[in-house]
Chains A and B, each alone.
Chain A
Protein backbone atom coordinates (compact mmCIF):
# COMPACT_ATOMS: atom_id res chain seq x y z
CA UNK A 1 0.00 0.00 0.00
CA UNK A 2 1.17 3.51 -0.69
CA UNK A 3 2.01 5.69 2.26
CA UNK A 4 3.91 8.86 3.06
CA UNK A 5 5.37 9.47 6.50
CA UNK A 6 6.54 12.82 7.78
CA UNK A 7 7.74 11.92 11.23
CA UNK A 8 8.46 15.50 12.29
CA UNK A 9 5.19 17.08 13.34
CA UNK A 10 6.65 20.44 14.30
CA UNK A 11 10.07 22.04 13.96
CA UNK A 12 11.15 25.38 15.40
CA UNK A 13 14.31 27.14 14.28
CA UNK A 14 15.81 30.59 14.48
CA UNK A 15 16.37 32.62 11.35
CA UNK A 16 19.45 31.69 9.33
CA UNK A 17 19.52 28.16 10.63
CA UNK A 18 19.42 25.32 8.13
CA UNK A 19 16.55 22.88 8.53
CA UNK A 20 15.75 19.52 6.95
CA UNK A 21 12.24 18.15 6.64
CA UNK A 22 12.07 14.38 6.36
CA UNK A 23 9.81 12.39 4.07
CA UNK A 24 9.70 8.60 3.84
CA UNK A 25 7.41 6.88 1.37
CA UNK A 26 6.14 3.38 0.67
CA UNK A 27 5.05 2.11 -2.71
CA UNK A 28 5.07 -1.15 -4.65
CA UNK A 29 5.27 0.64 -7.96
CA UNK A 30 8.58 1.11 -9.74
CA UNK A 31 7.27 4.24 -11.41
CA UNK A 32 6.02 6.97 -9.15
CA UNK A 33 6.21 10.69 -8.53
CA UNK A 34 7.06 12.62 -5.42
CA UNK A 35 6.04 16.17 -4.60
CA UNK A 36 6.51 18.83 -1.97
CA UNK A 37 3.89 21.48 -1.27
CA UNK A 38 3.99 24.46 1.06
CA UNK A 39 0.95 25.69 2.98
CA UNK A 40 1.60 29.15 4.46
CA UNK A 41 -0.61 30.56 7.23
CA UNK A 42 -2.93 32.02 4.57
CA UNK A 43 -3.95 28.44 3.76
CA UNK A 44 -3.28 27.92 0.07
CA UNK A 45 -1.18 25.01 -1.19
CA UNK A 46 1.86 26.04 -3.16
CA UNK A 47 3.66 23.55 -5.40
CA UNK A 48 7.41 23.37 -4.77
CA UNK A 49 8.82 20.39 -6.65
CA UNK A 50 7.94 17.23 -8.59
CA UNK A 51 10.36 14.33 -9.00
CA UNK A 52 9.88 11.03 -10.82
CA UNK A 53 11.27 7.75 -9.57
CA UNK A 54 13.84 7.46 -12.35
CA UNK A 55 15.50 10.74 -11.58
CA UNK A 56 17.56 10.50 -8.41
CA UNK A 57 19.50 13.67 -8.99
CA UNK A 58 19.35 16.07 -6.13
CA UNK A 59 17.87 19.46 -6.92
CA UNK A 60 18.65 22.92 -5.69
CA UNK A 61 16.47 25.97 -6.13
CA UNK A 62 17.79 29.00 -4.34
CA UNK A 63 17.73 28.24 -0.62
CA UNK A 64 15.74 25.05 -1.18
CA UNK A 65 17.24 21.67 -1.94
CA UNK A 66 15.88 18.17 -2.19
CA UNK A 67 17.61 14.86 -1.58
CA UNK A 68 15.96 11.84 -3.22
CA UNK A 69 17.28 8.43 -2.16
CA UNK A 70 15.47 5.38 -3.52
CA UNK A 71 17.60 3.07 -1.37
CA UNK A 72 16.01 4.49 1.78
CA UNK A 73 12.70 5.55 0.17
CA UNK A 74 13.26 9.10 1.27
CA UNK A 75 12.74 12.48 -0.32
CA UNK A 76 14.03 15.05 2.15
CA UNK A 77 13.74 18.80 1.85
CA UNK A 78 16.34 21.23 3.19
CA UNK A 79 15.95 24.95 3.63
CA UNK A 80 19.27 26.76 3.94
CA UNK A 81 19.50 29.97 5.94
CA UNK A 82 15.83 29.85 6.92
CA UNK A 83 13.73 33.01 6.99
CA UNK A 84 10.55 33.96 8.83
CA UNK A 85 8.65 33.74 5.52
CA UNK A 86 9.49 30.04 5.40
CA UNK A 87 7.13 29.45 8.33
CA UNK A 88 4.45 27.13 6.96
CA UNK A 89 3.21 23.58 6.90
CA UNK A 90 5.11 21.48 4.40
CA UNK A 91 3.58 18.42 2.79
CA UNK A 92 5.31 15.60 1.01
CA UNK A 93 3.11 13.65 -1.43
CA UNK A 94 3.31 10.52 -3.57
CA UNK A 95 1.57 9.60 -6.82
CA UNK A 96 1.85 6.20 -8.43
CA UNK A 97 1.90 5.08 -12.06
CA UNK A 98 -1.81 4.78 -12.53
CA UNK A 99 -4.28 6.93 -14.40
CA UNK A 100 -6.35 9.12 -12.17
CA UNK A 101 -4.55 8.20 -8.98
CA UNK A 102 -4.72 10.59 -6.09
CA UNK A 103 -1.88 12.38 -4.46
CA UNK A 104 -1.19 10.60 -1.20
CA UNK A 105 -0.11 13.20 1.30
CA UNK A 106 1.91 12.91 4.44
CA UNK A 107 0.43 14.58 7.50
CA UNK A 108 2.71 17.56 7.12
CA UNK A 109 5.48 19.22 9.10
CA UNK A 110 4.85 22.61 10.67
CA UNK A 111 7.94 24.77 10.43
CA UNK A 112 8.20 27.85 12.63
CA UNK A 113 11.04 30.24 11.97
CA UNK A 114 11.57 32.96 14.55
CA UNK A 115 13.60 36.12 14.17
Chain B
Protein backbone atom coordinates (compact mmCIF):
# COMPACT_ATOMS: atom_id res chain seq x y z
CA UNK B 1 0.00 0.00 0.00
CA UNK B 2 1.29 3.42 -1.01
CA UNK B 3 1.73 5.47 2.11
CA UNK B 4 3.65 7.94 4.21
CA UNK B 5 4.46 6.68 7.69
CA UNK B 6 5.56 8.61 10.73
CA UNK B 7 6.92 7.47 14.05
CA UNK B 8 6.18 7.92 16.81
CA UNK B 9 2.53 8.90 16.55
CA UNK B 10 2.50 10.36 20.05
CA UNK B 11 5.39 11.68 22.09
CA UNK B 12 5.70 13.40 25.44
CA UNK B 13 9.13 14.76 26.26
CA UNK B 14 10.85 17.37 28.39
CA UNK B 15 12.53 20.59 27.45
CA UNK B 16 16.01 20.12 26.03
CA UNK B 17 15.88 16.39 25.38
CA UNK B 18 16.79 15.74 21.76
CA UNK B 19 14.26 13.83 19.72
CA UNK B 20 13.75 12.61 16.17
CA UNK B 21 10.49 12.02 14.37
CA UNK B 22 10.91 9.66 11.46
CA UNK B 23 9.12 9.88 8.15
CA UNK B 24 9.20 7.32 5.40
CA UNK B 25 7.41 6.98 2.07
CA UNK B 26 7.22 3.98 -0.25
CA UNK B 27 6.11 5.80 -3.41
CA UNK B 28 9.56 6.76 -4.74
CA UNK B 29 8.62 10.41 -4.32
CA UNK B 30 11.30 13.03 -4.85
CA UNK B 31 9.73 15.80 -2.79
CA UNK B 32 9.20 15.58 0.96
CA UNK B 33 8.16 18.16 3.47
CA UNK B 34 7.37 18.75 7.13
CA UNK B 35 4.49 20.85 8.45
CA UNK B 36 3.27 21.73 11.87
CA UNK B 37 -0.37 22.33 12.71
CA UNK B 38 -1.37 24.66 15.52
CA UNK B 39 -4.84 25.85 16.59
CA UNK B 40 -5.74 29.10 14.92
CA UNK B 41 -2.64 29.05 12.73
CA UNK B 42 -3.39 26.18 10.41
CA UNK B 43 -0.54 24.24 8.81
CA UNK B 44 2.83 25.82 8.22
CA UNK B 45 5.83 24.38 6.43
CA UNK B 46 8.97 23.73 8.49
CA UNK B 47 11.43 22.25 5.97
CA UNK B 48 11.28 20.61 2.60
CA UNK B 49 13.49 18.49 0.39
CA UNK B 50 13.50 18.43 -3.38
CA UNK B 51 15.56 15.24 -3.51
CA UNK B 52 18.35 13.34 -1.76
CA UNK B 53 20.82 15.71 -0.07
CA UNK B 54 18.73 18.75 -1.08
CA UNK B 55 16.88 20.45 1.76
CA UNK B 56 15.64 23.97 2.38
CA UNK B 57 13.85 26.02 5.00
CA UNK B 58 10.13 26.57 4.98
CA UNK B 59 8.23 29.26 6.85
CA UNK B 60 8.99 28.18 10.43
CA UNK B 61 12.38 26.37 10.51
CA UNK B 62 13.73 27.71 13.82
CA UNK B 63 14.50 24.95 16.29
CA UNK B 64 14.35 22.14 13.74
CA UNK B 65 16.80 20.20 11.58
CA UNK B 66 16.25 17.71 8.80
CA UNK B 67 18.30 15.39 6.66
CA UNK B 68 17.66 13.50 3.43
CA UNK B 69 20.26 10.80 3.03
CA UNK B 70 17.90 8.39 1.31
CA UNK B 71 15.02 9.09 -1.00
CA UNK B 72 12.42 7.38 1.15
CA UNK B 73 13.31 8.92 4.54
CA UNK B 74 13.08 12.46 5.83
CA UNK B 75 13.54 12.66 9.61
CA UNK B 76 12.72 15.76 11.63
CA UNK B 77 15.14 16.50 14.44
CA UNK B 78 14.50 18.69 17.45
CA UNK B 79 17.89 19.08 19.10
CA UNK B 80 16.65 21.02 22.13
CA UNK B 81 12.85 20.96 22.19
CA UNK B 82 10.96 23.75 23.90
CA UNK B 83 7.30 23.99 24.96
CA UNK B 84 6.47 26.21 21.98
CA UNK B 85 7.24 23.23 19.74
CA UNK B 86 4.28 21.36 21.19
CA UNK B 87 2.25 20.73 18.08
CA UNK B 88 0.86 18.23 15.59
CA UNK B 89 3.47 17.42 12.96
CA UNK B 90 2.83 16.13 9.47
CA UNK B 91 5.23 14.72 6.95
CA UNK B 92 4.20 14.90 3.29
CA UNK B 93 5.57 13.70 -0.01
CA UNK B 94 4.87 14.22 -3.69
CA UNK B 95 6.22 12.83 -6.92
CA UNK B 96 8.19 15.98 -7.68
CA UNK B 97 8.03 19.72 -7.20
CA UNK B 98 9.58 20.85 -10.45
CA UNK B 99 8.53 24.29 -11.54
CA UNK B 100 5.19 24.12 -13.24
CA UNK B 101 4.32 20.71 -11.94
CA UNK B 102 2.86 21.02 -8.49
CA UNK B 103 2.08 17.46 -7.71
CA UNK B 104 -0.34 16.53 -4.99
CA UNK B 105 1.26 16.18 -1.58
CA UNK B 106 0.22 13.12 0.39
CA UNK B 107 0.39 13.33 4.15
CA UNK B 108 1.44 10.95 6.87
CA UNK B 109 -0.86 10.25 9.84
CA UNK B 110 0.66 12.95 12.04
CA UNK B 111 2.75 12.99 15.22
CA UNK B 112 1.40 14.66 18.33
CA UNK B 113 4.26 16.12 20.35
CA UNK B 114 4.01 17.54 23.85
CA UNK B 115 7.08 19.25 25.27
CA UNK B 116 6.90 19.82 29.02
Chain A residues close to B by CB (< 8 Å) = 31-33, 35, 37, 43-45, 47, 50, 52, 91, 95-103, 105-108
Q: Are B109 and A44 in contact (CB under 8 A)?
A: yes
Known A47-B105, A47-B107, A97-B100; 13 more pairs at CB < 8 Å: A31-B100, A43-B109, A44-B110, A45-B110, A50-B102, A97-B99, A98-B99, A99-B97, A100-B31, A100-B56, A103-B45, A105-B42, A106-B42
Q: Which residue on chain A has the smallest CB distance to residue B59?
A: A102
Q: Are A100 and B107 in contact (CB under 8 A)?
A: no
Which among A32, A44, A106 has the greatest number of chain B C-beta atoms within 10 A?
Answer: A44
Q: Does B88 contact A (CB under 8 A)?
A: yes
Which among B40, B43, B99 has the greatest number of chain A C-beta atoms within 10 A?
Answer: B43
Given contacts A95-B102, A107-B40, A107-B42, contact A101 B110 (CB under 8 A): no
Q: Are A107 and B59 in contact (CB under 8 A)?
A: no
**Which of chain A's residues have a CB closer than 8 A to the CB of B99?**
97-99
**Which of chain A's residues have a CB closer than 8 A to the CB of B98?**
99
Total residue contacts A-B, CB cutoff 8 A: 62
Q: Does B104 contact A (CB under 8 A)?
A: yes
Given contacts A99-B50, A102-B58, A108-B42, contact A47 B104 (CB under 8 A): yes
Q: Are B40 and A103 in contact (CB under 8 A)?
A: no
**Which of chain B's residues have a CB closer than 8 A to the CB of A47?**
104-107
Q: Are A101 and B107 in contact (CB under 8 A)?
A: no
Kindly state the separation between the CA atoms of A96 and B45 in the bound complex, as whole angstroms: 14
B33 to chain A, nearest CB (A): 7
- 7 A-B pairs whose Cβ atoms sit less than 8 Å apart in the complex: A33-B102, A44-B108, A44-B109, A45-B90, A102-B45, A102-B58, A102-B59
Kindly state the separation between the CA atoms of A102 and B107 in the bound complex, as whole angstroms: 13
Kindly state the separation between the CA atoms of A52 and B33 in the bound complex, as whole angstroms: 21
The 7 A-B residue pairs with the shortest CB-CB distance in the complex, in nearest-first order = A102-B45, A45-B107, A33-B102, A105-B43, A99-B99, A95-B102, A107-B42
Kindly state the separation between the CA atoms of A100 and B104 in the bound complex, as whole angstroms: 12
